[in-house]
Amino acid sequence: MIKMIDLDLTRKRVLIRADLNVPVENGTITSTTRIEAILPTLKIALDQDAAIILMSHLGRPKEGEIDPKFSLQPVAACLSKYLGRPVPLVTEHSNVNVKPGEIVLLENTRFLKGEKNNAPSLSKQLANLCDIFVMDAFATAHRKEASTYGVAEYAPFACAGPLIVSELEALGHVLREPERPLVAVVGGSKVSTKLAILNEILTQVDCLIVGGGIANTFLAAAGLPVGSSLYEHDLIPDAQAMLSFAKAHHKQIPLPEDVLVATEFSAGAKAVVKKVEDVAHNEMILDVGPKTANHIKQIIEKAGTVIWNGPLGVFEFENFGEGTRVLSEAIARSEAFSVAGGGDTLAAIEKYDVADEISYISTGGGAFLELLEGKTLPAIDILEKRSAI
Ligand code: AMP
Q: What is the pLDDT of residue 259?
A: 98
Regarding the beta carbon of 310 and ligand 1, being less than 6 Å apart is answered yes
Question: What DSSP state is assigned to residue 179?
Answer: P
Burial tier of 371 (Cβ tally within 10 Å: 0-12, 13-18, 19+): buried
Mean pLDDT for 373-382 is 90
- Residues 132/9, Cβ–Cβ less than 8 Å: yes
DSSP string, 198-242: HHHHHHH-SEEEE-HHHHHHHHHHTT---TT-S--GGGHHHHHHH
Q: What percent of the chain has pLDDT over 70?
A: 99
Mind listing the pLDDT tens digit for each residue in 93-142?
888 999 999 999 999 999 999 999 999 999 999 999 999 999 999 989 99
Regarding the beta carbon of 311 and ligand 1, being less than 6 Å apart is answered yes
Q: What is the pLDDT of residue 208?
A: 97
CA-nearest residue for atom 1, ligand 1, is 188
Flag whether pLDDT at 193 surpasses 80.
no
- State how far the alpha carbon of 236 is from the alpha carbons of 78, 218, 220, 242, 257, in Å: 44, 7, 7, 10, 19
Flag whether pLDDT at 200 surpasses 90.
no
- The CA distance from 77 to 356, in Å, is 27
Regarding the beta carbon of 364 and ligand 1, being less than 6 Å apart is answered no
Flag whether pLDDT at 365 surpasses 80.
no
Flag whether pLDDT at 389 surpasses 70.
no
| Contact partners, residue 213, CB within 8 Å, separation at least 6 | 188, 189, 190, 191, 229, 230, 231, 232
If you measure from the C-alpha of residue 213 to the centroid of ligand 1, how many angstroms do you get, rounded to a whole number?
A: 6
Q: What is the pLDDT of residue 194?
A: 84
Flag whether pLDDT at 174 surpasses 90.
no
Distance of alpha carbon 328 from the chain centroid: 16
The amino acid sitting at 57 is H
Q: Global pTM? A: 0.77
- The CA distance from 298 to 300, in Å, is 5
Regarding the beta carbon of 189 and ligand 1, being less than 6 Å apart is answered yes
Mean pLDDT for 229-243 is 96
Question: Which atom number of ligand 1 is nearest to the Cα of residue 342?
Answer: 4
Higher pLDDT, 95 or 313: 313
If you measure from the C-alpha of residue 191 to the centroid of ligand 1, how many angstroms do you get, rounded to a whole number?
A: 9
Residue 371's H or E segment, with its range, is helix 366-372
CA-nearest residue for atom 6, ligand 1, is 188
Flag whether pLDDT at 372 surpasses 90.
no
Q: In this predicted structure, which of 27-36, 271-280, 291-300, 325-334 has the lowest mean pLDDT?
A: 27-36
DSSP string, 107-133: --GGGSTTTTTT-HHHHHHHHTT-SEE
- The CA distance from 75 to 197, in Å, is 31
Dihedral-angle region of residue 34 (phi above 0 means left; psi in -120 to 50 means alpha; beta otherwise): alpha
Strand order in the sheet with 51-55: 89-90, 103-106, 51-55, 13-17, 132-135, 157-160
Smallest Cα–Cα separation from 320: which of 290, 298, 359? 290
Q: What is the pLDDT of residue 104?
A: 98
Regarding the beta carbon of 347 and ligand 1, being less than 6 Å apart is answered no
CA-nearest residue for atom 11, ligand 1, is 314
Smallest Cα–Cα separation from 47: which of 110, 82, 5, 80? 5
Share of the chain residues as helix, strand and coil, in percent rounded to the nearest 5: 45, 15, 40
If you measure from the C-alpha of residue 8 to the centroid of ligand 1, how many angstroms do you get, rounded to a whole number?
A: 44
Confidence of residue 267 (pLDDT cuts 50, 70, 90): very high
Q: What is the pLDDT of residue 98?
A: 96
Q: What is the pLDDT of residue 375?
A: 86
Q: What is the pLDDT of residue 368?
A: 83
Flag whether pLDDT at 343 surpasses 70.
no
Give the residue numbers marked as catalytic: 34, 190, 343, 366
Q: What is the CB neighbour count within 10 angstroms for residue 332?
A: 18
The three-class DSSP label of residue 53 is: strand
Flag whether pLDDT at 226 surpasses 70.
yes
Q: What percent of the chain has pLDDT over 90?
A: 84
